[in-house]
Amino acid sequence: MKISIAQLNYHIGNFEGNLKKMLDAVETAKLQEADLIVFSELSTCGYPPRDFLEFEDFIQLSNDCIEQLAVASKDIAIAVGAPRINPVIEGKDLFNAGYFLADGKILHIAHKALLPTYDIFDEYRYFEPGNTFEVVEFKGKRIALTICEDIWNVGNDNPLYTICPMDEMMPQKPDFILNLSASPFSYEQAHSRLHTIKANIDKYKIPMFYVNHCGSQTEVIFDGGSVVMSPDGKVYDELPYFVECIRTYELDEVMEGGLNREQPKDKIQLIHDALLLGIRDYFGKLGLKKAVLGLSGGIDSAVVAVLAQRALGAQNVRVLLMPSQFSSDHSINDARQLALNLNIQYDIIYIEEAYQAYESLLKPHFAGTTFNVTEENIQARIRGMLLMAISNKFGNILLNTSNKSESAVGYGTLYGDMAGGLSVIMDIYKTEVYALAEYMNKNGEVIPENTITKPPSAELRPNQKDSDSLPDYDILDQILYNYIEKRQGPKELIAMGFDEALVQRILKLVNRNEFKRYQTAPSLRVSPKAFGMGRRMPIVGKYLS
């Protein structure tokens, strides 16, 4: 038996486009003489469809896709994920289903049993968990058809669940496992995925064909990385990351094993490639083309500019240099040099005159006060207004350049440098931004060296440095990582050796600035715990505030 894996980039709600991709893939698999082609979880409608699932028309359009795929299954079997209406009155209206189509009809339907409801997942909101577990027989083989999370409770060891679908099916003696997944990217997920697949192989001693989504849906990125693993526990093949791919395998050869074709997993390269895909799909799927951002001469805007140019093309990226009376000459020169290196359009707009106009307007109202963060924020908001003016006039979508460290502690200005249609690096700590810049320069200087080596500064007052109000990023990022990603509280952080007063201060800043993060643009998710849909905190709360 020959099995094709179709690792495709779906578009939520684009039933016509998704169906066409799958039908084209079916024809490719036929040319490769495949007996079976496997698509991923909810591939008819895209993942995650969220509250679109509450519309009857949405479900009917998905059902129409299944009917047309069934027609295409006369010469090749098709395994495909789609929502399915619950045929009984009890329970939720839908199942997260895997359809097995063959000979022009629906041969078998599997219902996802383990519904993740944590981090970015909210499947129990929409779906009824499956409670029947039957293998599907095809061409003399018995196939365990599973959906994503169903393989993440090996031996019923996961405390989130009380049943293990594979344990239920093993008495039926399946020959191999199909897993239809929508496994979102984080820089840790590729390792976790292989670990989980291997745990299944080690326990059940049969091969697995695991097919994953590839592509970005707003903030959630899917890396692909589909896997074929042999009974010997080795990676027979791991498909490339962040690109569509169709490959066909001879089952008997997979059973023999002996190969180990695991992809390299460098963290910074994965983040770089994920962000490129995230930008490209955000623009492409929304029908957008051009981007604009403010280029300050600092490391954050430099990294975002490089990502935008690589994702969208130099002709589609425009930057504004907006120096004030506090901006240093080297920052202006560094920003100009980067724009020249990237061959992108740049304009210089000096904001001192606009700032002085605001200062004059506010002078009678600010009488008796001194220069403070208010005047700093006015500069940031002038820049935000200028960027949005270009966005409105020419249709360039504003890219936000705030990083995770700044966003965590509120080191940013609402309606100023926090403005934008997409936050590109808000899930990357400052230390990771530097590592990303070094990666970008690996084949020659793209980002000026001075941008990387100079002390970071917002340049909103004379001789300002980030270190005036924040601890060194090497320390800050460790505290933030352990608090946000690892959910370590103050006692645990202090026990790790961090200064007690510093821990208390930083955690209060994180919690007090939740209201700012609620008002920011969608941010591309690359970490295991990102701000936004994966981290749900109250704005009004007392804990550590």
Torsion angles phi and psi, residue 426, rounded to 5 = -70, -5
Are 56 and 155 members of one domain?
Answer: yes
Q: What are the Cα distances from residue 230, in Å, to 39, 144, 196, 198?
A: 20, 15, 14, 9
User: Please, is 363 exposed, middle or buried when counting C-beta atoms within 10 Å of its C-beta (0-12, 13-18, 19+)?
Assistant: exposed
- Cα–Cα distance between 421 and 289 in angstroms, integer? 13
Q: Residue ranges of the alpha helices (H) in 46-161? A: 56-71
- Which residues, given as ranges, of the chain have pLDDT below 50? none
Local structure of 339: helix, strand or coil: helix
Q: Are 451 and 297 in contact (CB under 8 A)?
A: yes
- Cα–Cα distance between 323 and 379 in angstroms, integer? 10
Q: Are 160 and 144 in contact (CB under 8 A)?
A: no
User: Is residue 182 domain-resident?
Assistant: yes
- Cα–Cα distance between 68 and 460 in angstroms, integer? 60
Residues sharing a CB contact under 8 Å with residue 433, sequence separation 6 or more, in sequence order: 299, 300, 303, 403, 425
Paired residues of 147 in beta bridges: 180
CB atoms within 10 A of CB 492: 14
Residues sharing a CB contact under 8 Å with residue 228, sequence separation 6 or more, in sequence order: 5, 207, 208, 209, 210, 235, 236, 237, 238, 249, 254
User: Is residue 154 domain-resident?
Assistant: yes
- Cα–Cα distance between 255 and 223 in angstroms, integer? 26
CB atoms within 10 A of CB 170: 17
Among 465, 497, 521, the domain-final residue is 465
User: Is residue 184 domain-resident?
Assistant: yes
What CATH number corresponds to the domain at position 449?
A: 3.40.50.620
Are 173 and 288 members of one domain?
Answer: no
Are 294 and 433 members of one domain?
Answer: yes
What is the chain's alpha carbon radius of gyration, rounded to the nearest angstrom? 26
Specify the number of domains making up the chain. 2
Structural domain boundaries, residue 215: 2-259
Q: Residue ranges of the alpha helices (H) in 395-499? A: 404-409, 430-440, 449-453, 473-484, 490-495
CB atoms within 10 A of CB 321: 23
Strands, sheet with 291-294, edge to edge from the N-terminal-most edge strand: 345-348, 317-321, 291-294, 397-400, 422-423
Are 124 and 246 members of one domain?
Answer: yes
> How high is the pLDDT of residue 204?
97
User: Is residue 179 domain-resident?
Assistant: yes
- Cα–Cα distance between 428 and 386 in angstroms, integer? 26
Are 290 and 240 members of one domain?
Answer: no
User: Is residue 485 domain-resident?
Assistant: no
Torsion angles phi and psi, residue 120, rounded to 5 = -85, -5
Distance between first and last Cα of the chain: 61
Are 10 and 95 members of one domain?
Answer: yes
Are 132 and 219 members of one domain?
Answer: yes
> How high is the pLDDT of residue 158?
87
- Cα–Cα distance between 150 and 179 in angstroms, integer? 8
Are 74 and 138 members of one domain?
Answer: yes
Question: Could you tell me how far CA 105 lies from the centroid of its own chain?
Answer: 35
Are 320 and 233 members of one domain?
Answer: no
User: Is residue 534 domain-resident?
Assistant: no
Q: What are the Cα distances from residue 402, in Å, to 197, 298, 425, 522?
A: 36, 11, 6, 12
User: Is residue 387 domain-resident?
Assistant: yes
Among 413, 439, 465, the domain-final residue is 465
Paired residues of 221 in beta bridges: 216
Are 279 and 255 members of one domain?
Answer: no
Torsion angles phi and psi, residue 542, rounded to 5 = -100, -25
The closest alpha carbon to 177, from 238, 248, 227, belongs to 227
Q: Are 156 and 150 in contact (CB under 8 A)?
A: no
> How high is the pLDDT of residue 545?
65
CB-side exposure of 521: number of CA atoms within 13 Å? 23
What CATH number corresponds to the domain at position 105?
A: 3.60.110.10
Are 335 and 240 members of one domain?
Answer: no
Which residues belong to the active site? 41, 112, 148
- Cα–Cα distance between 376 and 379 in angstroms, integer? 5
- Cα–Cα distance between 425 and 291 in angstroms, integer? 15
Structure tokens at 466: 């980030």
Handedness of CA 147, 151, 153, 155 (dihedral sign): positive
CB-side exposure of 239: number of CA atoms within 13 Å? 26
Q: What are the Cα distances from residue 36, in Å, to 28, 139, 179, 181, 489?
A: 12, 10, 13, 17, 50
pLDDT tens digits along 512-529: 999 999 999 999 999 999
Q: Are 149 and 181 in contact (CB under 8 A)?
A: no
Among 465, 483, 509, the domain-final residue is 465
Are 228 and 294 members of one domain?
Answer: no
Does residue 116 have a cis bond before it (omega within 30 degrees)? Answer: no
User: Is residue 236 domain-resident?
Assistant: yes
Question: Could you tell me how far CA 249 lies from the centroid of its own chain?
Answer: 29
CB-side exposure of 505: number of CA atoms within 13 Å? 9
Structure tokens at 167: 């344990």
Q: What are the Cα distances from residue 431, in Å, to 300, 434, 452?
A: 11, 5, 11
- Cα–Cα distance between 516 and 418 in angstroms, integer? 9
